[in-house]
Structure 1
Amino acid sequence: MRLQDYRALSFDVYGTLIDWEAGIGAVLTPWAAEVGLELDEETLLRDYARHEADVEREHPQSLYPEVLAQAFTRTGQALGAEVDETWAARLGASVPDWPAFEDSRESLAALAEHFQLIILSNVHREGFEASNRRLATTPAAVVTAEDVGAYKPAEPHFAALDSTLRELGIAREEHLHVAQSLFHDHVPAARHGVDSVWINRRHARPGWGATPEPEGRWTYLAEYPSMEAFARAVREDEHI
């Protein structure tokens, strides 16, 4: 298909549009320095990643600030250093401070000229609303972890996406999912037969960062290093 043959795009937000690694690292790094851990940000993010995924799986009804705080506490325990309530609460409340990638806002505005935009995010409603002040987009629909009572890569987000597409009058083959995380997005998208493209924000860095290594099969139709590159491909109406 040509990219402009699609009618709707759904987006993961954190990692794709919002730089969640910068946001999380801005709390983990000074905490590590305070407790005497000589670990760089990449190492801290890698150690944190599996704990967040575990908390999300074990406590799917928890709001994202609670997930962040508990995952941080578990990370400290695994590293042999205490995360006190002040530090845990600081990470839990940090989502509004997380920066958008420099190309996100302009790219979303350009894409909105061609597509209906749908948010499909592992966050709570209040968190997305805060982040959207940086993105300045008006999505046709917003599906959060708070709405479905679960966190990707669990099934409920994609079940809700099917319902959303029906409500918008968009066929599945007219929809494309846009995401950075293979673990959270492309693996479940493959299970559901959802077309997707990979925004590989970490293309210049080794490892998985704040995202666990993917488990299971994943597919994607095309890979782009940034939202700017994806929006340019849409403008040029590339085939994928």
Structure 2
Amino acid sequence: MPETLLNFKYLTFDVVGTLIDFEAGIKNCLAEIAAEAGTTVDGEEALALYRDARYAPNVGLFPDDLVRVYSVIAPKLGLPAGAQYGERLRDSAASWAGFPDSRDALARLAKRFKLIAMTNARRWAFTHFSRELGEPFFAGFTADDTGVEKPDPAFFQQVFAFVERDGGSKDDILHVAQSQYHDIGVSRRLGMTNCWIQRRHAQKGYGGTIEPAEFTEPDFHFRSMAELADAVDAAAEASTTSA
């Protein structure tokens, strides 16, 4: 892997879907509700319905909006109605797990870079996510902090301003994310270097993430966070050997 991976001072991260397995979290909670009701749900169907409901015109901030989302998708999945179930889905975010490789990869990367979280989730949820990931972040930006959600460029501009106050620049940042729609496309338009973590490489479709209007070829492409951390370590070793 090119040693250019070592040229960055900051790694900015999408969190939900890149580091935290929100698809498994949603499917598991819905499966539990279904089991209690004596039925089952198809996980991929549930994610498709979630995706459509989540990107309706009247959405709220994530994951609070899961209360509304549940009311939309429950009838289509044959699940029981009731605000308590939507609240249960919302509250499940506090226990969503990171991908198996996330915590270790972030710990390794934090030895070389300042890690900055950029999440469309609200601050209360990010607090749980960060704890699950081992509190690896130098800074964290949430929808509560920015007042907007990605892919709004204003979210990124606030991070750029923070990095500038820290003595860096946009060129010092590698943006790491799984969402083509929320992150990879807009980061390219803003002139950032980006890294696509293709979490669903073994699955068809976009799962719970909205499909982009067009695919953006990333600067770096890995199937997992572990692959990114391995590539950084390999680049560092190669640099030391050639010195």
Q: Same fold (TM over 0.5)?
A: yes
Q: Could you tell me whether the CA contact under 8 Å between 2:106 and 2:136 is conserved in 1?
A: no
The CA distance in 1 between the partners of 2:98 and 2:80, in whole Å, is 30
Aligned to 1:9: 11
Q: Report the alpha carbon displacement of residue 215 of structure 1 after superposing the two structures with TM.
A: 2.3
- Amino acid of the structure 1 residue aligned with 2:65: V
1:64-213 matches, cutoff 5 A: 64-76=62-74, 83-213=81-211
Greater alpha carbon shift after TM alignment, 143-152 vs 211-220:
211-220
The CA distance in 2 between the partners of 1:169 and 1:50, in whole Å, is 41
Point out where structure 2 has 5 or more consecutive residues left out of the alignment: 239-243
Q: Report the alpha carbon displacement of residue 83 of structure 1 after superposing the two structures with TM.
A: 3.4
Q: Report the alpha carbon displacement of residue 80 of structure 1 after superposing the two structures with TM.
A: 7.1
Greater alpha carbon shift after TM alignment, 194-203 vs 34-43:
34-43
Structure 1 residues 205 and 22, CA gap change in structure 2 (3 angstroms) = same
Q: Could you tell me whether the CA contact under 8 Å between 2:30 and 2:41 is conserved in 1?
A: no
Greater alpha carbon shift after TM alignment, 100-109 vs 144-153:
144-153
Greater alpha carbon shift after TM alignment, 116-125 vs 152-161:
152-161
SS in 2 for 1:236: helix
The CA distance in 2 between the partners of 1:78 and 1:191, in whole Å, is 37
Structure 1 residues 229 and 5, CA gap change in structure 2 (3 angstroms) = same
The CA distance in 1 between the partners of 2:184 and 2:81, in whole Å, is 32
Aligned to 2:241: none
- Amino acid of the structure 2 residue aligned with 1:41: G
Q: Could you tell me whether the CA contact under 8 Å between 1:178 and 1:198 is conserved in 2?
A: yes
The CA distance in 1 between the partners of 2:215 and 2:204, in whole Å, is 20
Percent of counterpart pairs with the same letter? 35
Structure 1 residues 217 and 226, CA gap change in structure 2 (3 angstroms) = closer
SS in 2 for 1:86: helix
Q: Report the alpha carbon displacement of residue 79 of structure 1 after superposing the two structures with TM.
A: 5.3
Structure 1 residues 83 and 190, CA gap change in structure 2 (3 angstroms) = farther
The CA distance in 1 between the partners of 2:196 and 2:135, in whole Å, is 20
Structure 1 residues 227 and 31, CA gap change in structure 2 (3 angstroms) = same
Structure 1 residues 87 and 201, CA gap change in structure 2 (3 angstroms) = same
RMSD of equivalent CA atoms: 2.2
The CA distance in 2 between the partners of 1:78 and 1:202, in whole Å, is 25
SS in 2 for 1:205: coil
- Residue 22 of structure 2 is aligned with which of 20, 23, 33? 20
SS in 2 for 1:66: coil
Question: How high is the TM-score relative to the length of structure 2?
Answer: 0.88
SS in 1 for 2:56: helix
**Number of residue pairs matched by the alignment:** 235
The CA distance in 1 between the partners of 2:75 and 2:148, in whole Å, is 25
Aligned to 1:43: 45
Greater alpha carbon shift after TM alignment, 165-174 vs 71-80:
71-80
SS in 2 for 1:117: strand
Question: How high is the TM-score relative to the length of structure 1?
Answer: 0.89
